[in-house]
Each structure stands twice: as structure tokens, then as C-alpha cells.
Chains A and B, each alone.
Chain A
Amino acid sequence: MSKEGRFRKRKHDNMQPRNQTEEGQSTVTSTPVLLSFESFQKELDAKHDKYERLVKLSRDVTIESKRTIFLLHRVISVSDVGELLHEADVKFGDIRLKIQQIAQELIGEDTCQFHRAFSPGLQEYVEAVSFQHFIKTRTLISLDEINNQLIFTPKTDEVKCSEDLASSCSQDEKQEQQPLCLQVTPTDYLLGIADLTGELMRLCITSVGNGDIETPFEVSQFLRAIYDGFTYIGNTGPYEVSKKHYTLKQSLGKVEDACYMLTVRGSEVPKHVLADVLSSKPSRIDQEEGV
């Protein structure tokens, strides 16, 4: 970061004399305008750099979250569940470190200004965290729970600093010393949860293949509740939410179909055949949706 700043400054220093020679010393009146544009240049560059750094951090969060979700899918098929869940926890720790970096970038900034830079990462994180929460507890994680995990206490040296300043410092300084936190917005939460339903559908189908008879029913009940929730929100939410609503309906259809098959034919057909039957189902559902 500092390197980049130095580079830009140098470039800008190079430009200044060139402009002076071009314009000549005679046009004294032109200097204030050019000077102010030089300060605009600095301001815009600083903003764009920050934006790019946030995008990069967000991408890292997305990738790591996706990997964690893949890891959690393995939980169902392998017996040593505890170890895998522990591994997921470690991964979440790393992801939170990244999110903490995002929060650090946003100190003293308007979070909404850069929201578009880091929102995809946060959504993926919500998806991963809520998936793990479902596997552990079979319930939906709340927005507050997610946000509480994203409150970072400042490092020890910063704490000392804040104690020294606390007595004398002004209000803005106090705000900076507060524990870092990054709040997931309700919209990001909703979009993350909508993505979660896709993962749950996958979980349902694979668990059938593994001869797990209970999970599909639990998942279908859970999905139905989420679907009802989205229906309740309807179109009060942003456009993206309504778009996901349709995909959610498809996922729910697949899961309900799986449960139906299990109930009707579960007793007579061998498990592995059932899994094959189910995986051929989705195409038929899609056709129905189209009508």
C-alpha cells in the first residue's frame, strides 16, 4: 500500500513540472484550478485503490467460503464428523481474519460507499456459516449471530493506545478506537440464505444416496420454512431477492420430490437404486416449472 502511494506521488510529481512548462509561467490564473485538480486526483486514486483492495479481499473470502462448503458436504459421507467440523471452524477463523481486514479498510469510511466491493464475499460467507450452523443444530442462524461473530476486538497495542487517549480524546477518535466490526446487511443475509438452500438441496440428494433416511425429511421441512419466509418478504426486498425466490422454489421442489419417493418406494427399492431414480428427477421438475 505504501509502495503504491509512493509510486503515485512520484508520477504526480513528474506531471507537475511538465504542466508548468507547457502552460508557461505567464498564466498565473490557471494554477489554482490545476492545483485543485491535483488534489482531486489524489483523492480519487486513494478511493479507487481502496476499492480494489476490498474487491481482492472479498474474492479471497468467497474462495475460502466455497472451499469450506465443499468440506462440509464431505461431513455427511464420512464418519469422522467431528474432525471435519473442527477443520471447518479453523477455516472460518481464517475467513474472519480476512473480514477483519475488510473492516480495517473501512475504518472511518462510509460502509455503504464500498459495499459493492465486498458484498459478494459476505454473501458467500453467510452461506457457508449458515450451512455449518444447520449441520450442527438443524436450525437457521440469525443475522445477529452472524454479526456478533464479526465483531473484532482491537489488538493489544491498539487497546493500550485507546486507554491512553480515552481520557482526553475527542469523539471521532473514540469512534476509531471502538472494536472493529463489519455488519452484514439484511439484504446480504437474505441472499446468502437463498444460496444456502441450493446447498441444502445437494445435501438432501447425497444423503439419500448414503442411505440416510432422516436427513431428507429434516431438510425438506427446513427448506419449506425458508420458502415461506421468502414468500412473506415477497417483493418488499430488493430485486435480487425476488430473483432468488424462483431458484429456491426449484430446490424445494426437488427436495419434496425426494421425500415423496422415499416415502412411497423407500421400503421396496434398494438405496443405491433410489439415489439413481432421484438424480434423474430434476429434469422432469424443470419441465413442470416451465408450464
Chain B
Amino acid sequence: MSVNELFGAVQASLAADQDVREDIRKVVQVLEQTAREILTLLQTVHQISGFKEIPNKCQKAREHFDTVKTHLAELKTKFPADQYYRFNEHWRFVLQRLIFLAAFVVYLESETLVTREDVAAILGIQVKRHKGFHLDIEDYLSGLLILANELSRLALNSVTAGDYTRPLRISSFINELDSGFRLLNLKNDSLRKRYDGLKYDVKKIEEVVYDLSIRGLGKGDAPSEGKTLDK
């Protein structure tokens, strides 16, 4: 084969690759739109009026996740199943956002940490790689770190809204999350960078709990037991 033919073949494969990326980008754009809608919906819990309607909001958010499911199913068809990591960076950001949103909904509903299996179920994707479009563990962990950041905000705003017990529950939840992350040996990558921010969230919530307890506003004196006392 001549040099020209060889380069022609390579060019063809590069062009095919670009077409696939273009298709993926289109679907990802729609996903990003839906993710923004869910976020807007959930943002209202920070308002004073929003606290009473939390179950209602979660219900609506869950409905939105159904459209997410269909979009993710569409995304699956845009590239060969065994090339997940080749195009991974296109949807990495939006997937992390969606994981955060799912975790947020689950937290608001039940005040528990969403499991990896549950996130996968909410998004309609797989946990294990060999079964198809899956939930990468690092993306899941990144999503949880975004959740921690959001909850530190929620603790603050729930005090403003007059809910003095919530910060205590959030505090024990975040502490648990923090001790979980301490078990991991992280490499010096984006996940590690995000994890480094977790301690500021923990600090912020602890300050809220402190403010409440010196004024006798919260119930428990020991924040870590706040949850068990409440329930």
C-alpha cells in the first residue's frame, strides 16, 4: 500500500470517530438541560417556604429522572459498548451532576446516603462495567462530594428557616461521609482535589452546630448523637 492510501485509511477512521463524538455531544447537551431543570427545582428547598414542600419537590424531581433515563438510554446507542472510557470525558461532568442530584433527592427523602446501586437504578444504568453503560466509581464519589457541599449550605439555610434540628442530622451525616472518604487512598487527581474541599464543608456545618448548641437551640449536646435522639 502506498503512503497515501495508508493515510487515507487513518483519516477515515479519525473522521468516523469525530462523527461519534458529535452525536454524543448532542445527547449530552439535552442531558445537561434536564440536569439544570432538576437542580432549579431542588434549589428551592433553600428558601424558607421550600422546607415544607420537600416531599413534593422530591416527587417532581423523580419524575424528571425518568426523562434522564430515556436520554441515557439514547446515549448508550451512540457508541460501541466497549468504548465507554474512550468517550467518557464528554458525559463525565453531567453524570457527576446527575449523581449529585439523585443523592440529594434520596437524602431529602430519607436522610441516608444513596448507594451506588440505587444511583444506578435511578439513572437507569449499570453498576458493573461488563454489563454495559455503567456508573464509574470515581464519578459516584465526586457526586457525593458535591452533595456534601450542598448540604453545608442547607444546614445554614435550615437555621434561617427556623429548623434547628436539621443541622445536627446533617452534621452526623457529613461526618460519616468524611470518615468514609478517609478510608480511601486517593491519587493526586480531580477526585482528590474535590475531596480536599470536604473538610471545609465539615467545618462549616460544625460551626452551625456550635452556634446552635451554645444558644441551646438544638436538642442534643453531642451532635453525633443528634440523629439517634431525633428519631
- Which residues from chain A sit less than 8 Å from chain B, CB to CB? 15, 19, 23, 26-27, 29-30, 32-34, 36-38, 40-41, 43-45, 48, 108, 110-113, 115, 139-140, 142-143, 172, 186-187, 189-190, 222, 225-226, 228-230, 232-233, 236-237
Contact = CB atoms under 8 A, between A and B. Distances in A.
Interface string B3-44: 110111111011101100000000000000000000000000
B137 A43 contact: yes
11 contacts: A19-B179, A19-B183, A26-B228, A29-B227, A32-B115, A44-B138, A48-B185, A113-B85, A143-B9, A228-B3, A236-B18
Interface of B: 1-4, 6-11, 13-15, 17-18, 82-86, 88, 113, 115-116, 129-130, 137-138, 141, 176-177, 179-181, 183-187, 224-225, 227-228
Nearest to A16: B183
Given A29-B227, A110-B84, A233-B10, A225 B183 contact: no
A229 B185 contact: no
List 5 tightest A-B contacts by C-beta distance, closest first. A229-B7, A37-B180, A112-B86, A113-B85, A225-B3
A186 B13 contact: yes
Contacts of A36: 115-116, 180
Contacts of A190: 10
B185 A23 contact: no
Contact of B10 (A34, A172, A186): A186
Contacts of B6: 140, 142-143, 229
Contacts of A112: 83-86, 88
Nearest to B87: A112
Given A45-B185, A112-B85, A113-B85, 10 more contacts: A29-B227, A34-B179, A36-B180, A110-B83, A113-B84, A139-B3, A140-B3, A225-B2, A226-B7, A233-B10
A237 B18 CA distance: 9
A26 B1 CA distance: 73
Nearest to A109: B129
Nearest to A233: B11
A127 to B, nearest CB: 16
A108 B130 contact: yes
A45 B6 CA distance: 41
A229 B115 contact: no
Contact of A40 (B3, B10, B86, B141): B141
Given A34-B180, A41-B183, A110-B84, A172 B130 contact: yes
B223 to A, nearest CB: 12
Contacts of B224: 27
B180 A110 contact: no
B83 to A, nearest CB: 6
A24 to B, nearest CB: 9
Nearest to B12: A186
A37 B8 contact: no
A232 B7 contact: yes
A117 B113 CA distance: 33
A177 B11 CA distance: 33
Contacts of B141: 40
Most buried by A among B14, B141, B186: B14
A26 B129 CA distance: 36
B87 to A, nearest CB: 8
A32 B110 CA distance: 15
Contacts of B17: 186
A32 B180 CA distance: 10
Nearest to A52: B187
Given A143-B6, A230-B7, A37 B14 contact: no
A233 B187 contact: no
Contacts of A37: 180-181, 183-184
A27 B15 CA distance: 57
A115 to B, nearest CB: 8
A222 B3 contact: yes
Contacts of B7: 226, 228-230, 232-233
A44 B181 CA distance: 12
Nearest to B16: A186
Given A229-B3, A233-B10, A40 B184 contact: yes
B113 A110 contact: no
B14 A186 contact: yes
Given A232-B8, A233-B11, A33 B180 contact: yes
B1 A142 contact: yes
Contacts of A230: 7
